[in-house]
Amino acid sequence: MSRIAFIGLGNMGAPMAQNLKNAGHDVAGFDAMDAARQAAVAAGLSVADNGTDAVNGANVVVLMLPNGKIATDVAREVLPAMAKDSLLIDCSTIDVESARGLHALANEAGVLSLDAPVSGGVGGAAAGTLTFMVGGADEAFEKGAPLFDVMGQKAVHCGGAGAGQAAKICNNMLLGISMIGTCEAFSMAKKLGLSQEKLFDVVSTASGSCWSVNAYCPVPGVGPQSPADNDYRAGFAAALMLKDLGLSQQAAETANAATPLGQHATQIYSAMVDAGLGGTDFSGVMNFLETFQKKG
């Protein structure tokens, strides 16, 4: 079993750390927020007074943090306390350049490293069914694989440094675009007098089939249970989708990649967040688009 330091005990990090503990690993956590630390202690996790204390004696350090700057600052703090040939796994969703910078910092410290953002949301974190998109050296991936097996159901080694983050933002850009397209189609069906249930029956088995339709339909009472059936309470918040779309556009600009639909999706989710709907599920863009159309 590994001695693991888990830094970032929020809605995603806390259940991931708990699953590692339940699997028999020795886990010490830390979070900068008092509320997160208290909740982790109440859940039975061991919580250190600071990040450096959490890392002392650990052979694996996992980060689950809000953005690239915070992840970089934390890495600079804890890497000097990490043992040579230990492993740093950054599960945060951050920009590709920051991810590559973390790998460089780890390499300078003699520490193995992986960027390993996740897909699956809070429910997947709690259930241990996350998908990990992983970038880094083969040796590092082999060392981290048993932990990914505990926290998730699949880990794909996407390539070298930053490849995991690249895969994550490409996937989520496509998800944001497809959700908007799904909402437009179902909204138009309603206005045309077509049953939305009948449209689902057609599209879910026809050429328009996609995850946003089949598994996460944004129409209440249509398809499998989804946030639409719970007043769009967030499984994946619109503000988080906007964050990922912003990262995709930052990467597109750096790589000189043409992403006109990604850019437009970013604008739509930005307007949704500006309207005070950032805490609702990203599939709530269904209602936002209808409101937007009325104003237009």
Comparing CA positions, the residue from 79, 19, 41 lying closest to residue 29 is: 41
CA separation for the pair 223, 273 (Å, rounded): 26
- Quote the Cα angle for 272-276-279, to 5°: 85
Are 94 and 165 within 8 A, CB to CB?
yes
Which of 21, 143, 168, 243 is labelled catalytic?
168
Torsion angle in degrees (nearest 10) through CA of 157, 158, 161, 164: -100
Are 219 and 228 within 8 A, CB to CB?
yes
- Quote the Cα angle for 142-114-49, to 5°: 110
| Catalytic annotation present for 21 | no
Q: Helix 238-255 crosses helix 260-272 at what angle (to 10 degrees)?
A: 150
Q: Helix 238-255 crosses helix 163-191 at what angle (to 10 degrees)?
A: 120
Residues known to be catalytic: 168
